[in-house]
Structure 1
Amino acid sequence: MNKSSITLNCDMGESFGQWKMGNDEQVMPYIDMTNIACGFHASDPHIMSKTIELAILHNVKIGAHPSYPDLQGFGRRSMHIEPMELSEILIYQIGALKALCESKNTEVNYVKPHGALYNDMMKNHQIFEAVVDAVSCFAIPLMMMATMDNQRFLDIADKYEVPLLFEAFADRAYLGNGSLAPRSQSGAVLKHEDDILGQVQQISQYGKITSIDGFVVPIEADTICVHGDNEDSILLIEKIKQILEN
């Protein structure tokens, strides 16, 4: 694995009105890609615009971070939505960010679903196909979690001619089957410096992670994510970047 090819991405623009989440100004200089909330789990047009401007200032690629329509639950609750309607919900959100980007002479480079939608598309191929269908309208890549069996997802994406970016997480624990440990499980969100930096080093240097239940799991990632709402990992953003660059 070419370590230098692994980028660093972060979920951003997740404030809303007068309510502030994350520290986008502090983090943006250290990342390569920013996943900007599109208003359905967090953010609003003004926050989206300011986050776009911040990304432009630091030459960071902009990605749409759409979700289920769940502002109250921060997009972390699964919802049963028919595939066609789900695609329309995603096109609406991505389209909004695209228009704001174009107003500032920049563009949306990729899509990364948020929260429960992200988790659900990794478990349900019908949901994944609805997401891919929406992304195909914009002719940009879709970011998804790297798994031990990416081929099933590649086959669906190839049908719609959507490139995939495979992602791993700096600050989330994994299960032995390569999926993320549910947030309801103790230890699912990594908080300690050694755990976070150790996982980043494992991914970037060895192409693997050690699961929460002690299994070594192979994982090939194009990009590594730190969560904007995890203060512990954000405090380590500079060290994470150094690991990826060395």
Structure 2
Amino acid sequence: MSREKYLIAIDLDGTLLTDDKKITPKTRDYLNKLHNNGHLIVIATGRPYRAALGFQQQLGVEGPLVTYNGSLTSHPYDPYFPTRTRKFDRFALHDLVNKIGFDALDNLMIETEHVIYLLREDEALNTFFWNDEERIIYGNPFLHLDEDPLALIFLFKNTDPAYKAEITKLVDSFPSLHIRFWHLEGYAELWIGESTKKDGLEYIANYYHFPQKRVIAFGDASNDKEMLAWAHYGVWMKNGVPSVEAYANMKTTEDNNNDGIVGVLQKLIK
């Protein structure tokens, strides 16, 4: 095993996880072996902390987590690790949502460090984000929102490209706010400057004194672009979004259902 230790950042959906949201035994065992040999395994995801922690525990590794697409970088096992947060201005969000109009939304999810706000009940969102029913408040979130949130997700009724362009222009009119549309029809998420996975990963690299040349990152989707471009080894998944490949300098030969990340790591870490 290599004497040089690497910081290895891995996205969840479409990367570490198979299409049925599982970690294969081969991938789990290999990453656990790397962890035990001193490499730092970091999950970097758009999902919330609680979901990332669950998958980290399945891997049997201990390390920092980059969650909410970089809005929260934390370490569940190290109380001395300085948590990094980047939050939205709740008053700006209120203004933005009012300009969009609630009638344009099938749903809206806003999450703070303590509460999940959902405009309407949504089993799919609750399952994907591992939402705890005891922490959810349904209805207009701005009637109760009393702290700046970490994440905001829209489910738009209109999925026409021209409408998406109109929404993008509106969001861009707010300083530091940006919107990213998912491949899932209608879904979109907000993000702010310095709250990408790359920012969280760079923060971890600096804290643990990993030079950029020993950073490996795996991803498949548009929220991975900055991270893939920054890492010395930016690895695009074979099953990934085609437009994201340009931000990487390597790609897997196998997809997420066939241990794609393992083959690349075996070549890089010897």
TM-score w.r.t. length of structure 1: 0.33
With normalisation by structure 2, the TM-score equals: 0.31
| Larger Rg belongs to | 2
Q: Point out the structure with the larger strand share.
A: 2
